Structure 1
């Protein structure tokens, strides 16, 4: 019984073949060039390692008013991202300030879920009020 040789290709080799395919070479040309036996091997590598659709250039055709709308929306996204970044910085600054005050003054300023707040009446006070009615 004759043993069948199994060929294992390195990931770097596969990626190189995919790069050449994406640059315009056909799967058949690459199979011949590198001696790749399997008929669908290159296709599988392209699916696994390639950038889908990168072999073809994407052309977007838009009306002038669509282009203006896209540009306006892109600017709005930039504004919102900037506002979000500023809000996150403000939050970090305030958290740091609270931690500093807590450490220096020895008091707890952060909300504790489940504990009554200072301006919230206790359960005892609530019962007392209900009894008066």
Structure 2
């Protein structure tokens, strides 16, 4: 760190990058780095990151579910189980219908499934 006139501190790019690396690796928080290294300005490290084109990972988490121990969470959990059962049943029905068509086509020697026309070249 170099002191220039007016009391403003100037840090080398190498020094800034070392501190940014410690923050991004989780070794320390921005606030911790500001205190430990005596950096003035609460947004200095954020500004350094921007100047180097480094984007901070998103720290906010979005919760799509209610906690499972809440009444809403239990309702949602039960609804998910119900929908999963319905999906499984629908998949089984679709497989059964497909198998029935296969058997009917084989035994009756007819094409039940519609075959899509092939695209002719030169059109």
Alignment TM class, shorter chain as reference: 0.3 to 0.5
More helix per residue: 1
TM-score, structure 1 as length reference: 0.41
TM-score, structure 2 as length reference: 0.43
- Pick 1 or 2: higher relative contact order, CA cutoff 8 A, min separation 6: 1
